[in-house]
Structure 1
Amino acid sequence: MTALRYMGWVTGCSVLTAFVSIIWQAFLSLQTLNRTTVLLSGLLAIEGSLKRPALEPAPKVAIGYGACTDLQINATEFLERYYSRRIPAATTGSREIVNNEDELLQSFAYYFQNGAAAERVMANTTLFKQLVSYAKVMDKNRIQWYMGGNAPLMAVRFFMEGAEVLLGAHMSKKLRPLLPKEIRLAGDEIPNDDIHLILEYKAGDTWGPYVAPRANRYILHNDRNNPHLRAVEQLTDALKIYQPQLLVVSGLQMMDMFTFNPGEREARLLQVKRQLTSQPSDTLNHFEMASYVELQLLQQLQQFVLPYVDSLGMNEQELSNLQQVLAYGRTTLATDWNPRIAHTLDQMRQVFISLLEDYGDRSGNDPRRRRISRIHVHTLAYQAILTTADSKWKNTRAAAAKAALTAHRYVCKSQFVNPEAVLQVLDDSFATSAQTNAPRMRIGAASPVPCWREYIEYGRKQQRLEVEICVAPVLVCREARKTAGAGDNISASGLAAQL
């Protein structure tokens, strides 16, 4: 009897413990859902403040260069089907150009296990065509075709946000109808568009011993049109009449060295510089970063592009890469896929100071230089925007909120934000710097998008410049539907909000 009583007591305690655990988990879930709903309401309210007065004309935006067709496939399904017996035991992400299948598999595995976005050129045209043919014969329901290219995707987003848009790009008859007819096109018709192979994967996807910590994509291309920026001259001519408020330069990561004869790439970048420097001072210039790996190209961007723009847009990988190039003259491989806000903000400050010190002096040998006044970094978990206090950029808080909502809507492929489909990555507060005793900011009902002002010192004379920084939490999509092009849409929505 004693044993039976003891067993009954143990069973009762187990049932009670399980019951309490269920109740506690339900309570925690309810708390999380409540916090998500409160943040969503706050973000939507801030976004709603962006409504443009009815009599105010739409902002005019021009953007270049290039366009392509994106062929999107599930990465792990594709590789399991064709390369299941060739999963690499070791990985490397250091190759600038992919030449063969082994290099492709090693490079993909490296970025896949780090959850990092990557874009690589496949120098072997025959192999690239073979990979595309492999993708085409997969289940038709498992592949998707899209209009691609940084410039067209940003152009469409600017149009959706109410801007008047001029796009500099060459397109085929098949691709042009995918672009809204209201978007003006400066560029010739071409017989065939370049194709980009988009290997998409979700958080938790596995390939052999490798597991993806977050949703992302690996992009392969073998372009013949886009690297040469053939629409630059036509866009330059159109700009003389169009006179935009904002000029956006993107797609320069396509300019891989193997495509060009000696000196040819530098000549094309010189045309980009001339386009940027020919804009009047009241036209804002923005450069959209991308997955750059070739150090020489980045150094050429330091010469021909960075000194002549007001604004930069990038993700956490691109921010780390740019910071390393500016500070140490070297590139980086994959970095933390979910960096702390304090770390990102410190890197933004370092890039901002480097650009001010290197290019901000207009009294130097080139009076056409511009002083950087805006940096937007988009990550999985948050949007961070830094602007100078005396600049033409407005609505920094609303721009951060808009970018955060665009991130969720685009990746989820839904205009409706369902709180139950959201994963919150950020805590309720964050440090504004990794330095000791740095101030902390809270994220909550009272402040869904924390903003503050601070002074940044730069130069030998320790000049001080006041900046505003805003950080908006991203309501991360639990089941990512599409990541390729997310950065372009996020950046464009943030820019549109600040014009």
Structure 2
Amino acid sequence: MGTTLVLGLGGTVDYEVRWDADIVGSLAEQYGIRRTELTTMAPIVDERSLVVTILAFVIDGAGGERFVESSDVVKQFADRFTTEITLGGTGVRAGIALDRLGIPSVQHLVSIDDHVRRLMPASISWVSSATEDTLDPHLIVQYPAGTVVRFDDGEIVSPSSNRLIFANDPPNRSMAIAPELGDALSDAGAFLVSGFNTMQDEALLERRLTELDAALAQLPADALVYYEDAGFYVRRFAERIWAHLLPRIDVYGMNEDELQEYVARPVDLLDPADVAAALLEVHRIIPVPALLVHTQHWAIAVGPTAARHRDALSSAVQMAATRFRLGDGFTAADFEATALLPKNAAGGAVVDTVEKAIPGVVGVSAFKINTATPTTIGLGDCFVGGFLVDHAPVREPQL
């Protein structure tokens, strides 16, 4: 088996806005937004429709990712808030989490600019398909539980914290594959594939998947392939991914939002019977060796090889919890300290029951963390990074 971790396929520059319910409420009033028009599914063509979508997610306490007609909408909205510029994309955030433990990785990037050069940790190297510098920022909105947004039509209150992503990113939509990817994969112990969800041209997607197939020919046969699902802008495109990659995917990950999209119904995440039924249903749709669902309460893997990933699952939950309580700036010591925190009892009850109900299932309860300033951005990405700790070369913790 190879020794490097190769993470892809596309990185982003993120504009993380600091949530301010008063600003959001004033925008709702300014645009005359009514509660009856809140929806998460309408096209986002301007700032008004962006605010409509944000409020619709907040009222349900839900998270998601949506396409915006223009990057100018993202910049216009972000300019109203205190905003931090960070690096995103599942592979990049997973790599940053691994860097906190002294674990290097190789990134596959599709865009580059001075923000990437400035913010990428020194332990991360990259191959890139970009031929010039571009900047198409992703708007990241995270809101806390219990936030109240007041406007002319009353008020809404979020039942839980969550994060939203809005973007118009041509390089990630094109997802060009770097010619050097195959060589990078030749010494890989694990390969993370994510990012195809933003593509909107089916013929181009098919071409990229064919190019990825060619690069995968150089991946060692015993290397782990982890595919992380995401909010597909065109949901049926997921089937094109499966046609090419299912025979090679070892672990297929998704969060609760994606689980519910696939089973086309709400899932009560604290009802073991409902969870078990949803897991079996989505595994029938996506028949991989290990299908992994990570949520705020638990992470559970189902499939014939699920049991071999118990330690990786524990590390993944620990990494996501560390980011939740401390944000990006955590250390290896912080990561180890998280393991000593109490577990979520309700999540543990679900795990125990589902493990007994479905042969071969393994699960891990989330941690019970009380913080006034939770970080909901990038938890799934850090979860993936934590999972890959188990497949990394010998690390030297930065204690």
Paired residues for 1:322-333 under 5 Å: 322-324=262-264
| 2:11 maps to 1:70 | no
Higher relative contact order structure (alpha carbons within 8 Å, sequence separation ≥ 6): 2
Equivalent residue for 2:56?
110
Which residue, out of 109, 114, 119, partners 2:65?
A: 119
The one-letter code matched in structure 2 to 1:272 is L
Equivalent residue for 1:290?
230
Cα 1:378/1:440, change in 2 over 3 Å: closer
SS of equivalent to 2:296: coil
Q: Which stretch shifts more, 375-384 or 474-483?
A: 474-483
SS of equivalent to 2:27: helix
Contact 2:74 / 2:137 at 8 angstroms: preserved in 1? no
Q: Which stretch shifts more, 149-158 or 181-190?
A: 181-190
Contact 2:270 / 2:350 at 8 angstroms: preserved in 1? no
Equivalent residue for 1:136?
79
Which residue, out of 178, 193, 199, partners 1:249?
A: 193
Q: Distance in 2 between matches of 1:399 and 1:274?
A: 28
Q: Distance in 2 between matches of 1:197 and 1:489?
A: 19
Contact 1:276 / 1:309 at 8 angstroms: preserved in 2? no
> What is the deviation of 1:267?
1.5
> What is the deviation of 1:98?
2.0
Equivalent residue for 2:320?
407
Equivalent residue for 2:140?
198
Which residue, out of 326, 340, 344, partners 2:275?
A: 344
> What is the deviation of 1:59?
4.5
SS of equivalent to 2:197: helix
Q: Which stretch shifts more, 159-168 or 195-204?
A: 159-168
Equivalent residue for 2:367?
474
Q: How many residue pairs are counted as aligned between the two chains?
A: 375
Q: Distance in 2 between matches of 1:236 and 1:78?
A: 47
The one-letter code matched in structure 2 to 1:400 is L
| 2:312 maps to 1:382 | no
Identity %: 20
Cα 1:355/1:299, change in 2 over 3 Å: closer
Which residue, out of 202, 206, 228, partners 2:174?
A: 228
CA shift digits 1:220-242 (9 cap, x unpaired): 111121111124433234323xx
Contact 1:154 / 1:492 at 8 angstroms: preserved in 2? yes
Contact 2:66 / 2:166 at 8 angstroms: preserved in 1? yes
- For structure 2, the 5+ residue unaligned runs are 393-399
Which residue, out of 160, 173, 180, partners 2:121?
A: 180
SS of equivalent to 2:41: coil
| 2:256 maps to 1:302 | no
Which residue, out of 29, 32, 35, partners 1:84?
A: 29
Cα 1:470/1:59, change in 2 over 3 Å: farther
Query: TM-score of the superposition, structure 2-length normalised?
Result: 0.82
The one-letter code matched in structure 2 to 1:427 is A
Equivalent residue for 1:211?
157
CA shift digits 1:70-120 (9 cap, x unpaired): 11111634423433333332222234x422344323322222111111111
SS of equivalent to 2:39: coil
Cα 1:78/1:306, change in 2 over 3 Å: farther
Q: Distance in 1 between matches of 2:267 and 2:290?
A: 23
SS of equivalent to 2:180: helix
Contact 1:204 / 1:213 at 8 angstroms: preserved in 2? yes
Instruction: State which structure, 1 or 2, has the greater radius of gyration over its C-alpha atoms.
Output: 1
CA shift digits 1:188-233 (9 cap, x unpaired): 4642332011121000012232211111122111112111112443
The one-letter code matched in structure 2 to 1:226 is N
Equivalent residue for 2:379?
486
Q: Distance in 1 between matches of 2:216 and 2:2?
A: 22
Equivalent residue for 1:48?
none
Equivalent residue for 1:37?
none
The one-letter code matched in structure 1 to 2:185 is L
- For structure 1, the 5+ residue unaligned runs are 1-56, 325-331, 357-371, 433-438, 442-450, 456-466
Cα 1:237/1:497, change in 2 over 3 Å: closer
Contact 2:10 / 2:89 at 8 angstroms: preserved in 1? yes
CA shift digits 1:133-157 (9 cap, x unpaired): 342354xxx3222111222111222
Q: Which stretch shifts more, 128-137 or 486-495?
A: 128-137
Which residue, out of 213, 217, 221, partners 1:281?
A: 221
Contact 1:273 / 1:304 at 8 angstroms: preserved in 2? yes
Equivalent residue for 1:427?
346
Q: Distance in 2 between matches of 1:148 and 1:318?
A: 19
SS of equivalent to 1:495: helix
Contact 1:112 / 1:211 at 8 angstroms: preserved in 2? yes
Q: Distance in 2 between matches of 1:164 and 1:424?
A: 29
Q: Distance in 2 between matches of 1:110 and 1:320?
A: 17
SS of equivalent to 2:113: coil
Equivalent residue for 1:25?
none
